[in-house]
Amino acid sequence: MRSRRPSGAGFAGATDPGGRFRKGGEAPLRAIAACLLALLTLAARPAEAAEWGLIVPGTTTMEIVRARYGQPTKSEPKKVDSYDTVQWVYEGAQAPVGMYRMTVDFGLLTANGYQKDVVRDFRLDAKPGAFNKKLVLDGWGDPSNVGKDGDFEIFLYEDGLLVYFDTGGWNVQTLVFTVRQPAPAPPQR
């Protein structure tokens, strides 16, 4: 399973101030066992949507978003396919670090019915230079598909992430997180 975190969230530059990983101790064996257990646990999980900032489309609720980010700057009721939905916007100082705006859309139709307080998707509008192509590739790996929208390059990930780059193709303008997208069916012969 590949990491879904931007660069810098891993072990780069990690130190061992307590000397726990010196040769010959039992701490390395415990650490290896813990890592193996974590990997097995991750492998046993069903595939989830792409996530960021503790928000997972299709799983995270209004209550969790409010607990993590506080009250939105704006809240607007909307109608999507005859369902009542809500959109929360966090702007300026209320937006996450590196972003000038975060927009969260709630209301998701599932096999179990309509879930009005579940995140359907969310959008991060990045400040210029806050995210770039290298950070995206380090955090989410190679995209499932690459496309263009006019002069803008787009990365599409099956686990529910769309990344829009600026006209130079390096800096991220917008990240859109959705529920996992099904892989396209192979062509029929």
Convert the pLDDT of each residue in 174-183 to its tens digit.
999 999 877 6
If you average pLDDT over every residue of the chain, what do you get?
Answer: 79
Convert the pLDDT of each residue in 64-98 to its tens digit.
999 999 999 999 999 999 999 999 999 999 999 99
Neighbours of 87 (CB within 10 A): 19
**Pseudo-torsion of CA 172, 126, 136, 68, nearest 10°?**
-160
Cα angle, residue 142 at apex, residues 155 and 135 outer, rounded to 5°? 80
- Residue 92 φ/ψ, nearest 5 degrees: 60, -130
From CA 9, how far away is CA 5, in angstroms rounded? Answer: 6
From CA 4, how far away is CA 122, in angstroms rounded? Answer: 16
Structure tokens at 37: 């257990």
Instruction: Give me the residue spans of the domains in the chain.
Output: 18-47, 62-178
